[in-house]
Amino acid sequence: MSEWEPKIVGFLCNWCSYAGADLAGTSRLEYPPNIRIIRLPCSGRVNPLFILKCLSNGADGVLISGCHIGDCHYSEGNFYARRRFAVLKKLLEYLGIDPRRFQMSWVSASEGDKWARLVTELVEEIKQAGPNKDFVRKND
């Protein structure tokens, strides 16, 4: 088990969370390298299909991160995202997907430290959840 390292996909909005992650980097904060970041204009851009695609292609975890409520560059994008993913989160759990595998956070451009801490915790949680073997592609 010690060799296995989780793969996590992060969907980050350009204006806050991506900048926050960037700040963590330029401040030379250390955090585990398990997250692959996909930059999007806004957390409201994330479609539930993105999450399904990641999980069903073997990602061990997926994170959506956007601006804090009230700070969205497009004013309302994160309000819509919050509703949409509250529903998806509960549905996935109901269908038997470990809730640790799909998470959401608000990280601002100045919260490099929060980003580093968040990813560290996330990696730890997903390590506990173990590798995602739910959707090993059989016939395609």
Which residues touch 31 (CB under 8 Å, ≥6 apart)?
Answer: 24, 115, 116, 117, 119, 120
Is residue 46 within the footprint of ligand FES (CB under 6 A)?
Answer: no
Q: Which does 105 bind (CB under 5 to 8 A by kind): ligand FES, another protein, none?
A: another protein
When binding is defined by CB under 6 A, the residue of 7, 73, 84, 117 that contacts ligand FES is 73
Is residue 77 within the footprint of ligand FES (CB under 6 A)?
Answer: yes
Q: Give yes or no for a contact between 34 and 131, defined as CB atoms under 8 angstroms apart.
A: no
Q: Which does 73 bind (CB under 5 to 8 A by kind): another protein, ligand FES, none?
A: ligand FES
Q: How far apart are CA 71 and CA 58, in angstroms?
A: 33
Largest CA-CA distance found in the chain, in angstroms, rounded: 45
Size of the site for another protein (CB under 8 A): 40
List alpha helices for the chain, DSSP H. Answer: 17-26, 48-56, 77-94, 112-129
* Amino acid at site 8: I
Is residue 82 within the footprint of ligand FES (CB under 6 A)?
Answer: no
Shortest separation between residue 27's beta carbon and another protein, angstroms = 20
Residue with smaller CB distance to another protein, 3 or 140: 140
Binding site for another protein (CB under 8 A): 48-49, 52-53, 56-57, 69, 76, 79-80, 82-99, 103-106, 118, 134-140
